[in-house]
A and B are shown apart, each in its own frame.
Chain A
Amino acid sequence: DQQVKQNSPSLSVQEGRISILNCDYTNSMFDYFLWYKKYPAEGPTFLISISSIKDKNEDGRFTVFLNKSAKHLSLHIVPSQPGDSAVYFCAASSLQGGSEKLVFGKGTKLTVNP
């Protein structure tokens, strides 16, 4: 039951360029979306979130875009830095549905090359 899908298992970009990580979801009840970064042997680190009432949220180098009609969101990292190399997880919840549990995608491993 893949309610949250990250179809690219890996992505490689050059330092200074833009990284675009994509996420699709199938459950129309999802109304809150988050991106997490995870290094090996560590827990997921919260990056940025977006509510379904918005289509964009920006925090420094990180911007999340939400396209509700397409049930698609993306995370843009500009400019990318070698320290951004990690696994990025998309997660969703249905707050209006009374559920705060996060449903995660499988993750995309980002490698930023110097």
Chain B
Amino acid sequence: EPEVTQTPSHQVTQMGQEVILRCVPISNHLYFYWYRQILGQKVEFLVSFYNNEISEKSEIFDDQFSVERPDGSNFTLKIRSTKLEDSAMYFCASSLAGTGVYEQYFGPGTRLTVT
């Protein structure tokens, strides 16, 4: 069964450093998303991406964040200068959307620890 994959599973970085989280969405999916979950809190939407551009973003997704689909398979989230409060689980998701199928399928997540 197709699945969303994410690398790395755990990333430790120092405050102020740049990190890139990587995702391979399900191959025929059209919409791509990033969510995060700070420990003990809700899963929160960050950004959605369709047709090579951001379709929607949350207030969390400020200028420190960017997304890219550098080739036909990968989808990345970059945090330019990490802060302690960026420590969270980051989930990538994808969906067929626009075809009447709106379920989003999530990857296993990347645990980001900022020290």
Contact = CB atoms under 8 A, between A and B. Distances in A.
A94 B35 CA distance: 17
Nearest to A104: B43
Interface in B79-109: 91, 93, 95, 97, 102-109
B95 to A, nearest CB: 7
A105 B108 contact: no
A34 B45 contact: no
B76 interface: no
Interface residues of B, number: 26
Main secondary structure of the interface of A (DSSP, over half): strand
Nearest to B107: A43
A93 B102 contact: yes
Nearest to B41: A106
A46 B31 contact: no
Interface string A47-71: 0010000000000000000000000
Interface string B61-75: 000000000000000
14 contacts: A41-B109, A43-B4, A43-B91, A43-B109, A44-B91, A100-B31, A100-B97, A100-B102, A100-B104, A101-B45, A101-B56, A102-B45, A102-B104, A106-B42
Given A34-B103, A100-B31, 10 more contacts: A32-B102, A41-B108, A41-B109, A42-B108, A43-B6, A43-B108, A49-B103, A100-B97, A100-B104, A106-B42
Interface of B: 4, 6, 31, 33, 35, 41-45, 48, 55-56, 58, 91, 93, 95, 97, 102-109
